[in-house]
Amino acid sequence: MNIKLVVVGKLKEKYFKAGIAEYAKRLSRFCKFKIVEVPDEQAPESLSQAQMDVVMQKEGERILSKINDREYVFALAILGTERSSEEFAKEIDQLATYGHSDITFVIGGSLGLTDAVLKRANTQISFGRFTLPHQLMRLVLTEQIYRAFMINAGSPYHK
């Protein structure tokens, strides 16, 4: 199984990098795991709606260029469906069972994801209504993917 995260922007904080690297190392026994970073669009602090749309569109195009037709795509979106860790694990297991060996998760930039990216996604997933920093979300997502594999393996890690 191949798991890919397509994310906007570079990860700068060493402590996030270290946490993600640890979970990526743990995941290596279950799947091929990689993170693909696309550049964020530089923009001033205060933007008009038209400027925001341009930023989102450029980031969205970069995201879509990193996804191929056979990938099953989860878009992280605040309005997506919340899942428990067990439900998420079951979903990952079923995807593998039914021939979806390439799974991609998309984390947008600070302005979110365009409709084009959301339409390309097979499903939208939410980690709650909290707004989390992009960098922290990468770490949380990576841990939850690892947790899903551990649940499916019957490991006590989940408890």
- Say how many C-beta atoms besides its own lie within 10 A of residue 79's C-beta: 9
| Residue 134: CB atoms within 10 Å | 17
Quick check: 78 and 126 in contact, CB under 8 A?
Answer: yes
Contacts 24+ apart (CB under 8 A), 44-53: 52/111
CATH, domain range 2-41+49-152: 3.40.1280.10
Report how far residue 51's alpha carbon sits from residue 56's, in angstroms, rounded to the nearest whole number.
Answer: 9
80 is in an annotated binding site: no
Annotated binding-site residue? 60 = no
Give the tokens for residue 82.
């919340």
Positive or negative torsion for Cα 141, 122, 130, 108 = positive
100: how many CB neighbours lie within 10 A of its CB?
16
List the 123-126 sheet strands across, edge first: 32-38, 2-8, 102-107, 72-82, 123-126
Q: Please report, for the chain, the start and end positions of each structural domain, with discontinuous segments joined by +.
A: 2-41+49-152
Q: Which two tokens mark 123? A: 């499903």
Q: Determine the distance from the C-alpha atom of residue 57 to the mean position of all C-alpha atoms in its chain, rounded to a whole number.
A: 18
Per-residue pLDDT of the chain (159 residues; tens, 9 = 90+): 999 999 999 999 999 999 999 999 999 999 999 999 999 998 778 888 999 999 999 999 999 999 999 999 999 998 999 999 999 999 999 999 999 999 999 999 989 999 999 999 999 999 998 888 889 999 999 999 999 999 999 998 866
Number of neighbours of residue 65 by Cβ within 10 angstroms: 11
